[in-house]
Amino acid sequence: MPSILDPILEVFTNPVMLFMRDYIRKAVKAENYGIPHEVKSVISLMCHMMKVRGYKTVSKFFPHEVSDMEPVTDLLQHQDNVEWQPSYLLLIWLSIIVLVPFDLSTIDSQKS
């Protein structure tokens, strides 16, 4: 009966993913690609939620702004293969972001 979570899924997922977005933006800006234990716990919680309810159901509540694409990609690029959960969450998030139609020139932070 995983569908019993559906009424609270958005209420639970939104604050967690907004926290993740803020953390990722700050970490990438500071070029600090390590993920602290507290953030790993949040990531693990989201992975368990996706395991119980399914990633398609949970990921539709992830933020899907084009401005998130570059920080998420940068952090994903610097992940090691020891822990799978951060990479898994970032890949699922990236799969939602790329579905939004956008001009590629809007995501290049290096453009002059």
Distance (Å, whole) CA 32 – CA 12: 27
Give pTM, 2 decimals: 0.85
Residue with tokens 């293969």: 81
What is the model's pLDDT at position 64?
A: 86
Reading phi first (left if > 0) and then psi (alpha if -120 to 50, else beta), residue 31 is in left
At 107, is the pLDDT very low, low, confident or very high (cuts 50, 70, 90)? low
- Retrieve residue 12's tokens: 């639970």
* Residue 92 maps to a domain: yes
Torsional class of 60: left (φ above 0), alpha (ψ -120 to 50), beta (otherwise): alpha
The residue with greater pLDDT, 101 or 26, is 26
| Banded model confidence at residue 108, pLDDT cuts 50, 70, 90 | low
How many domains are there within the chain? 1
Lowest-pLDDT choice from 63-67, 78-82, 99-103, 108-112: 108-112
Distance between CA atoms of 22 and 55, rounded to whole angstroms? 21
pLDDT tens digit sequence for 9-49:
999 999 999 999 999 999 999 999 989 999 999 999 999 99
Within a domain: residue 107?
no
End-to-end CA separation in angstroms for the chain: 52
Residue 70 structural domain: 2-100
Torsion of CA 29, 31, 33, 35, to 10 degrees: -60
Q: With contact defined as beta carbons under 8 Å apart, do 86 and 40 qualify? A: yes
pLDDT of 29: 93
Residue 44 in domain: yes
Q: Is the pLDDT at 106 greater than 60, yes or no? A: yes
Q: What local confidence, expressed as pLDDT, does residue 112 receive?
A: 44
